[in-house]
Amino acid sequence: MRIKSVEVIPLNIPLVEPFEIAIGKFSFAENVLIKVQLEDGTVGYGEVSSSGIITGDIQSTAIDIVKYISPALVGESIERYRYLIKKLRSIIKFHPGTFAGLENAILDAYTNYIGVPLYKFLGGASYEIESDVTLSITTPEKATETALSYFEKGYHIFKLKVGKDFDEDLKRVLAVSEAVPDCEIRVDANQGYTPKEAVRFINKLYSKDVNITLFEQPVYWKDIQGLKFVTDHSPVPVAADETVFTATDAFNVARERVVDVINIKLAKCGGVLEALDIIAVAKASGLELMIGCMVESNIGLAPSVHLACGTGEFSYIDLDSYLFLKELPLKGGFEVDGPRLIVKNIKKGLGIEESKKEK
C-alpha cells in the first residue's frame, strides 16, 4: 500500500505550570503533529517535541524538514518500512527529534495497515510499565507538595531535577525523600555539576539514607572522562542521557564503561530502529536501559511506551511528559492508571484515536 500524503500541523500546548531544569525553563510545548495517510485511508501519527536545547529540533525547523522530505515518501510502499527509513536517513542526517516524529508516523501507519499493535510488532514482552514522575527545580516546599500529590495518585518513583544550585538541590531532594519515605528517588542534573561536585552530591545523599537509585547525566555531555569519574565514585548507578544519542554513542560509552545505564529517548536517537540498535549494544555490554522523553503528548510518548512494553528491556521508565500538558490533541496510544501505562487493549498500530473533527 502506497503513501498518499504527509501532513504537518503545529501543536502549541501550554504546560500546567512552568518546568525548570538545569539548562532552561519552559512554559509551552511547541510540538508538531505529523500525519501519514495511505492510499486505502489508513493513517499513522507521529509527534515532534521541540527540544532545541538538546537536539536542535525546533517547531519551525521541524515543519520545514517534514515538508522538504515528504515528496520522497509519497508514492512509496509502506511495507518497505526499513527501506523507507534508510532513504530518509540519506536525506536528513541531523534533527533526530523530527526524524523520530516521521519514523513514528510511518511505523504507526504500517502497523495499523497490517493490523498489529506496535508493542506486539516489537515483541509483546509485557502489557504495561510503571513510570516515575519528574519534579522540576523549585522550592523544597513546592517540590514536596507536588510529590505528595503524585504519591496520592499511586506514584512511588520520583525523579528530581537538580544541577542548578548544590545546596538548594540537596535541601529539595532531602525534603521530598522525607515526605515520601518508602519511595524510590532518582536525580537528574542535566549536565549541571562538575565531576567533583557530582561525586560529593551523590555521596552526601547516599550518606543521608535517601533511597536513591539513579544519578542521571551529572556532568557536561561531552565530558566523557568526567562522567566516568562520577560513575567510578558513585554508590548508585549513573546514567548517560545527553551524552548518548545514537547506537555509536552507546558503543563508545559501553567500551570505556563510562556509565552503568543508557537513557534512550526516541527524540535523541531518531526513532525505534536506532533505539533497537542501542538496546543491542547495551545488552551486549551489560549496561542497563532507561527510556525517557522530551515534552511529548501521548502521541509522541506512545511509541516509547510500546517499545518498552514490547521489548521488556528497560529497567528505568521515565515517560511522564503528558502529565505536564494542559491538553492532549488526540486520545489513545496507551491507557493510564496512576503511574501504570498500559497497552493491553490497543488493537493495532499505536492506537491513536482520530479526532471527531477528522472523521
Catalytic residue IDs: 161, 265
The residue at minimum Cβ distance from Mg ion is: 241
Which among 124-132, 146-154, 184-192, 267-275 is the span making contact with Mg ion, rule CB under 5 A?
A: 184-192
CA angle, corner 305, sides to 302 and 308, nearest 5?
150
Q: 41 exposed, middle or buried (CB, 10 Å; 0-12, 13-18, 19+)?
A: exposed
Answer for the pair 112, 43: CB distance below 8 angstroms, yes or no.
yes
Check residue 2 and report its DSSP letter: B
**DSSP-derived secondary structure for 222-286:** T-HHHHHHHHHH-SS-EEESTT--SHHHHHHHHHTT--SEEEE-HHHH-SHHHHHHHHHHHHHHT
Which among 239-247, 270-278, 332-340, 349-357 is the span making contact with Mg ion, rule CB under 5 A?
A: 239-247
Rounded Cα distance, 161 and 151, in Å: 17
Rounded Cα distance, 129 and 119, in Å: 12
C-beta of 102 vs 290, nearer to Mg ion: 290
User: Considering only residues 241, 249, 296, 313, which one is a binding residue for Mg ion as defined by CB under 5 A?
Assistant: 241
Number of residues that bind Mg ion (CB under 5 A): 3
C-beta of 216 vs 313, nearer to Mg ion: 216
Which among 38-46, 50-58, 235-243, 328-336 is the span making contact with Mg ion, rule CB under 5 A?
A: 235-243
Q: What are phi and psi of 84, to 5 degrees?
A: -60, -45
C-beta of 6 vs 262, nearer to Mg ion: 262
Residues 191-210 touching Mg ion, rule: CB under 5 A, are none
Rounded Cα distance, 44 and 42, in Å: 7
Rounded to a whole number of angstroms, the minimum distance from the CB of residue 110 to Mg ion is 30
Rounded to a whole number of angstroms, the minimum distance from the CB of residue 294 to Mg ion is 10
Rounded to a whole number of angstroms, the minimum distance from the CB of residue 10 to Mg ion is 25
Helices vs. strands in the chain: H and E counts, helices first: 13, 16
C-beta of 19 vs 81, nearer to Mg ion: 19
**DSSP-derived secondary structure for 46-94:** EEE---HHHH---HHHHHHHHHHHGGGTTT-BTT-HHHHHHHHHHH--S
Rounded Cα distance, 343 and 336, in Å: 9
Rounded to a whole number of angstroms, the minimum distance from the CB of residue 317 to Mg ion is 13
Rounded to a whole number of angstroms, the minimum distance from the CB of residue 245 to Mg ion is 12
Residues 211-230 touching Mg ion, rule: CB under 5 A, are 216
User: Considering only residues 188, 249, 274, 313, which one is a binding residue for Mg ion as defined by CB under 5 A?
Assistant: 188
Which among 76-84, 115-123, 133-141, 183-191 is the span making contact with Mg ion, rule CB under 5 A?
A: 183-191
Contact between 132 and Mg ion by CB under 5 A: the answer reads no
Rounded to a whole number of angstroms, the minimum distance from the CB of residue 22 to Mg ion is 10
**Interacting residue ranges for Mg ion, rule: CB under 5 A:** 188, 216, 241
